[in-house]
Amino acid sequence: MAKRPIIKLPDPVLKTVSEPVETVDDDIRALLDDMLETMYDAPGIGLAAIQIGERKRLVTIDLSRDETPKHPHFFINPEIVWTSDEMATYEEGCLSIPEVFEEVERPAECRVRFLDRDGAECELHCDGLLATCIQHEIDHLNGVLFIDHISRLKRERVVKKFTKAKKLEATG
């Protein structure tokens, strides 16, 4: 396993749509392990492959806290096949948009179809934080950021802040 650098806003890679994984093999499992290590190190609870520059439909999630045992989830080619009419609002953040947190409303529950680490087809009913997290990560696979769900004014402020910081970093 190897920790990878996380791509940050305003990098245009974050707005690209990821490609489906054709074969679940040792290379894909190694990439999932790298993603998990990167996510734990950040620290975060979810990571999409595009956030480390890999345009593959892969997601890792672990909602475990501090001292509790790790319980990682691996999603290959995840797709939401059902969402509830009931909505829930969570304060979301993102490893690619550090230190920015905003309230986002999403379906309170969803069902996700995906392949597991061994390539087996699975379906998982998600609610609470897991439902929010998987929807957030699948958005990444489709080139959508959580700030795309907030008001235009707030989104523009965030983008401007990160664009300015990138320019300052580039000029030294």
Checking if the pLDDT of 147 tops 80, the result is: yes
3 assigned to some structural domain? no
42 assigned to some structural domain? yes
DSSP H or E stretch at residue 38: helix 26-41
6 assigned to some structural domain? no
136 assigned to some structural domain? yes
Cis bond before residue 10 (omega within 30° of 0)? yes
Q: What are phi and psi of 3, to 5 degrees?
A: -75, 135
5 assigned to some structural domain? no
Catalytic residues: 137
CATH code at position 85: 3.90.45.10
pLDDT in tens, 76-130: 999 999 999 999 999 999 999 999 999 999 999 999 999 999 999 999 999 999 9
164 assigned to some structural domain? yes
Q: Count of domains in the chain?
A: 1
95 assigned to some structural domain? yes
Checking if the pLDDT of 169 tops 90, the result is: no
pLDDT of residue 171: 85
pLDDT of residue 26: 98
pLDDT of residue 68: 86
Residue 37, token pair as written in the block: 């290590």
DSSP H or E stretch at residue 109: strand 109-115
By residue range, what is the domain housing residue 46?
A: 12-171
1 assigned to some structural domain? no
Checking if the pLDDT of 66 tops 90, the result is: no
pTM summary value: 0.96
